[in-house]
A and B are shown apart, each in its own frame.
Chain A
């Protein structure tokens, strides 16, 4: 690092009070009175549009009516029956593009019923109650299943299989279970260690052995799993990220956004997490928004999201873009990375080429610009990046695992779901839906097998 110009990346930019305020619940829980009032806005729609819009098909009008009737426990039962991770989804679902987008109250009152917040209210009530168990495990079936990946897809699958009486081994490469619930989703959506509390609640169903620090790295391991179990579910998520592929990518201060967020999620105190004074985030999705907003919350002075296409092409919803702007993040469009600029091995800025759409294709206009930066966060998408899967003979599609409508892969006895499969929405709730769908199919296959074998 050169002596004359030092990149300004450091922790402790704010007071302890500011950190505490910045990383608290960004949507506060509803009080009893608020929940009752909000619940009374639900019309108990016939064939409710909100339920259809929920990937896990939660019976929204039923659970909301139960809240209105002061039966929060019954409400939580309705929710968790369809989605055992309903507590987490209530916190991180982009409801504005799911259930709440289609709520009929939008049309009439310009404001949907706050389904997500009500869902959280009900599940929180249950979790805080003296007896928060609602599911009973079926008698042991004597069948064994292996679930690789303890993210939302794997957790949902393992829970449903265990509930059906099967014995489950749940493995994950990381030191903690939860997947991106634990390592990825924004801090202010998961306050109070909710991810771990939920994992504990899920595992308490019994019949699940959690094996952490176990990575699937060889084809022989998958073969072994298949040999020792009646079914295998892969919920591996996307372990790798895309590279920028421009000069300067290895300079100090160029950081993967997912890793940056993961470090923040794991830090016992956000005040210990280093952040640049000026941060440039490359990308246009949820990860870019989360990385940018959290950089700002960590005390970065100037944060810009830079995206190579227009606002309408961003994967982050309009609400998320607005959230970013409200938190003081700038969003620049039509700029593609050309080079990361550095001095003495550290980032000083980044050069971009202005883009335009010509005949549906992105092309440079010839104009260039430079943004100063101490830190560059790369959020240009994740990918499977696990060579083992192809080696095992798993059919892939669009770089992810190909499955049928029940979640079956090309290898008999192996199911998959969540971000690692092709055709999903890359959302927590979608991963849960995949896990449950596979569990239903596995359970069905195992009971058919049992009937056949007369056991």
Chain B
């Protein structure tokens, strides 16, 4: 049996599935239930400064993008950090950690960008007995307008500075949570590392507006007829998060920096994507908010079965295995040629591949043969773009076949070369090295 337990920058947990800092980790009641269900760890809902707590809106704070069957594609919120008193939170964290010593309890913090603010709160958090802290530099709404959250996360110098303060005032591992609302994720990650961060976690939510109510013509959801941009998360953001995780994992400046992957994780398959691209732990919010805490059992079961089936000893053995396969476009091998192939036994003759290729790609799929409805790839036109594979409703019906070296590409009439040819060396590249 593969081992699911992890040691993430010194924080140990029985499995890599943590609940992200959000409503599921808002208070002891939720966290207790989460641990009972089997979550390996939690990042407690972000704490703010001592004093009167924040207030949330008293109307809709969530919005969703739903499929026709009402399965949730994306989720948006305008919630702030915790709206509960700091003292209550600290007491609850202390009690929970005492009851669940084997689980990871990380505390998320967001206080103003002043050294004394961080100096004041860090010892109090450390006293709870928690395993680490996460700096919330990601929240894109509300808090950012007050100079916190993503307002810090968007300025690498601030990240470096605040991270350094934290390292000065606590012995706990420091995880810096990054905002995706930025052009190049490597810069904040590098800043975190330079400031001494033990790890980064990403992504926090993405700036978003869910839509407009067609009757009232107000943005939706609306609070008293007005709305604001919120933070987007859930399945729709996973590809964005994966790219950012991979960028950090393959950046030589941040190589080896532990990454906690977050964004759209709802199954072991999603977790696998993050782990293979370099994440040492994964965090979940939306999926738990949709299905409840029990889903962790399905994730654990699936990941275990996968690791066993593939002969991996544990999560660590899988971690980063796909990172080396991510490269820049300019290094892709332009001599590789693929062609779409339709499995006629599986084809249900819906014609989607034909119309997609005909109208918007390369006119490479027939719709009739000898007067009969028939869909077949014309290799002499196919550029192997994969569009038809993506629009076909039958799994495995259309596949891409890689041509072997020496085989004739019927589109160009040329034999496929065994040599590698990158754009950097391509004859058409004005900047390229001619070979």
Measured between beta carbons, the chain A residues less than 8 angstroms from B394 are 108
Kindly report which residue of chain B lies nearest to residue A102, judged by CB atoms. Answer: B349
The residue in chain A whose Cβ has the minimal distance to the Cβ of B346 is: A108
A68 — nearest CB in chain B belongs to which residue?
B68
Contact B354 A107 (CB under 8 A): no
A225 in contact (CB, < 8 A):
no
A1 to B69, CA, bound (A): 64
A282 at the interface (CB under 8 A from B): no
Contacts of A37 in B (CB 8 A): 68-69
- Report the Cα distance A39→B354, complex, angstroms: 22
B245-276: contact bitstring with A at CB < 8 Å (1 yes, 0 no)?
A: 00000000000000000000000000000000
Which of B41-98 touch A at CB < 8 Å? Answer: 67-69
Knowing A43-B393, A46-B367, A47-B367 touch, does A107 contact B68 (C-beta < 8 A)? no
Q: Are A49 and B68 in contact (CB under 8 A)?
A: no
Q: Are B351 and A46 in contact (CB under 8 A)?
A: yes
Across the interface, which residues of A come within 8 angstroms of B322, CB to CB?
A: none
Answer whether A44 and B68 are a contact pair too, CB < 8 Å, given A49-B373, A108-B393, A108-B394. Answer: no
With a cutoff of 8 Å between Cβ atoms, the chain B residues found around residue A45 in the complex are 350-352
B355 at the interface (CB under 8 A from A): yes
Residue of B350, B354, B373, B394 most packed against chain A (CB within 10 A) = B350
Partner of B373, one of A47, A68, A105: A47
Chain B nearest CB, measured from A422 CB (Å): 27
- Contact indicator B350/A46 (Cβ below 8 Å): yes
The complex places the Cα of A314 from the Cα of B10 at a distance, in Å, of 77
Chain B minimum-CB-distance residue to A52: B373
Residue B348 is within 8 A (CB to CB) of chain A in the complex: yes
Contact: A39 with B68, CB < 8 Å?
A: yes
Could you say which interface size class chain B belongs to? Answer: 10 to 19
Taking CB atoms and an 8 Å cut-off, the chain B residues in 337-376 that contact chain A are 348-352, 354-355, 367, 373
Contact A108 B348 (CB under 8 A): yes
Q: Which residues from chain A contact B348 at a C-beta distance below 8 Å?
A: 104-105, 107-108
Contact B68 A46 (CB under 8 A): no
User: How close is B262's CB to chain A, nearest CB, in angstroms?
Assistant: 30
The distance from the CB of A229 to the nearest CB of chain B, in whole angstroms, is: 42
Residue of B with least CB distance to A43: B350
A61 → B minimal CB distance (Å): 10
A36: interface (CB < 8 Å): yes
Interface residues on A, range: 10 to 19
**A44's closest neighbor in chain B, by CB?**
B352
Does A40 sit within 8 A of B, measured CB to CB?
Answer: yes
Beta-carbon contacts of A23-67 to B below 8 Å, as 1s and 0s?
A: 000000000000011011001111111000000000000000000
Report A188 CB to chain B, min CB distance, Å.
30
Chain B residues whose C-beta falls within 8 Å of the C-beta of A44 in the assembled complex? 352
Least distance between A421 CB and chain B CB atoms (Å): 28
Contact residues in B for A107 (Cβ distance below 8 Å): 348-349
User: Across the interface, which residues of A come within 8 angstroms of B354, CB to CB?
Assistant: 46
Inter-chain CA distance A381–B379, complex, in Å, is 55
CA distance A36 to B394 in the complex (A): 21
Given contacts A47-B367, A47-B373, contact A40 B351 (CB under 8 A): no
Complex Cα–Cα for A107 and B350 (A): 10
* CB-nearest residue of chain B to A46: B351
B34 → chain A closest CB, angstroms:
32
Chain A residues near B68 (CB-CB < 8 A): 36-37, 39-40, 68
Binary interface encoding of chain A residues 107-129 relative to chain B, with 1 for a CB under 8 A from any of its CBs, else 0: 11000000000000000000000
Q: How far is the CB of A409 from chain B (nearest CB, A)?
A: 32
Which residues of A from 54 to 106 have beta carbons under 8 Å from B?
A: 68, 104-105
Assess whether A46 is in contact with B352, with CB atoms less than 8 Å apart.
Answer: yes
Indicate if the CB atoms of A47 and B69 lie closer than 8 Å: no
Let me know if A40 and B69 touch, CB within 8 A. Answer: yes
B393 to A, closest residue via Cβ:
A43
Query: What is the distance, in angstroms, from B349's C-beta to the closest C-beta of chain A?
Result: 6
Residues of chain B lying within 8 A (CB to CB) of residue A68 = 68
Contacts of B355 in A (CB 8 A): 46
The residue that B349 contacts in the complex, of A39, A40, A49, with Cβ under 8 A, is: A49
Interface core residue of A37, A39, A45, A49 (most chain B CB under 10 Å): A45
The residue in chain B whose Cβ has the minimal distance to the Cβ of A47 is: B351
Which B residues are in CB contact (< 8 Å) with A47? 351, 367, 373
CA distance A47 to B368 in the complex (A): 11
- Alpha-carbon distance A396/B348, docked complex (angstroms): 43
Residues of A with C-beta under 8 A to B352: 43-46
Docked complex Cα distance between A245 and B352 (Å): 56
Taken together as a complex, chains A and B put the C-alpha atoms of A43 and B349 apart, in Å, by 11
- Shortest distance in angstroms between A148's beta carbon and chain B's nearest beta carbon? 40
Q: In the assembly, what is the distance between CA of A45 and CA of B373, in Å?
A: 12
Query: Is B350 in contact with A104, judged by CB distance below 8 angstroms?
Result: yes
Chain B residue numbers with a CB within 8 Å of A39 are 68
Residues of A within 8 A of B67 (CB): 40
In the assembled complex, the CB of A282 is this many whole angstroms from the nearest CB of chain B, namely 41
A104, B354: Cα distance in complex, Å? 15
Distance A39 CA – B393 CA, assembled complex (angstroms):
15
A291 to B70: give the CA distance in the assembly, Å.
43
A108–B394 CA distance with the chains assembled, in angstroms: 7
The interface residues of chain A lying within 8 Å CB-to-CB of B351 are 45-48
Q: In the complex, which residues of chain A have a beta carbon less than 8 angstroms from the beta carbon of B373?
A: 47, 49
Give the CA-CA distance A40 to B67 in the complex, in Å: 9
Q: How far is the CA of A36 from the CA of B373 in the complex (A)?
A: 29
Task: List the A side residues contacting B69 at CB < 8 Å.
Answer: 36-37, 40
Contact with A along B400-431 (1 / 0, CB 8 A): 00000000000000000000000000000000
CB neighbours of B349 from chain A (8 A):
49, 104, 107
Q: In the docked arrangement, what's the CA distance between A48 and B350, Å? A: 7
Kindly list chain A residues whose C-beta atoms are within 8 Å of the C-beta of B393.
43, 108
A68 CA to B70 CA in the complex, in Å?
12
State in angstroms the CA–CA spacing of A48 and B351 once bound together. Answer: 8
Question: B355 — nearest CB in chain A belongs to which residue?
Answer: A46
Closest to A106 in B: B348
Between-chain CB contacts (< 8 Å), 28 pairs: A36-B68, A37-B68, A37-B69, A39-B68, A40-B67, A40-B68, A40-B69, A43-B350, A43-B352, A43-B393, A44-B352, A46-B350, A46-B351, A46-B352, A46-B355, A47-B367, A47-B373, A48-B351, A49-B349, A68-B68, A104-B348, A104-B349, A104-B350, A105-B348, A107-B348, A107-B349, A108-B348, A108-B394
Known: A46-B355, A48-B351, A68-B68. 20 other contacts (CB 8 A): A36-B68, A36-B69, A37-B68, A37-B69, A39-B68, A40-B67, A40-B69, A43-B350, A43-B393, A44-B352, A46-B351, A46-B352, A47-B351, A47-B367, A104-B349, A105-B348, A107-B349, A108-B348, A108-B393, A108-B394
Closest 3 CB pairs of A and B: A46-B351, A40-B68, A46-B355
